[in-house]
Amino acid sequence: MPRPARPALLLAGLLAAAGTAHFVAPRQFDAVVPEVLPGSPRAWTKASGVAELALAAGLAIPATRRASAQATALFFAAVFPANVKMAYDWRDRSTAAKTLAYARLPLQVPLILWARKAARTEQ
């Protein structure tokens, strides 16, 4: 049985805010782009911002919600290496900063599960 669209719309809001942040304050995102990726960190920051905004739009539109939610789950898995890099890079920072960086690592799991739940919402 389809579920109400609220989880998908809340996730769309989160992604829209995150995507916007990639353009408003890109330096913080540039810093976590793994060096193994080709091209400049800023290009990856912009690309991930565009992806988040596109995923948000797709989640907001009933006809594209399911596919967008599935793509969102994959996106959350794909950006996990950036969170690992951040945790590694911040290993010598303050306890509060390290806690923040390490707390982001397991956060990917509920985000992926949230996206999967959004895929099962009403069209």
pLDDT tens for each residue of 14-61: 999 999 999 999 998 998 888 888 999 999 999 999 999 999 999 999
How many Å apart are CA 40 and CA 45, to the nearest integer?
9
pLDDT value of position 118: 92
* pLDDT above 90 (res 116): yes
* pLDDT above 60 (res 85): yes
Positive or negative CA dihedral for 28, 47, 53, 23? positive
Q: Using DSSP, state whether 25 is helix, strand or coil.
A: coil
| Average pLDDT score, the chain | 92
Region 70-89 average pLDDT? 92
Instruction: Provide the Cα torsion 71, 72, 78, 83; round to 10°.
Output: 180
Nearest to 118 by CA among 40, 42, 26, 11: 11
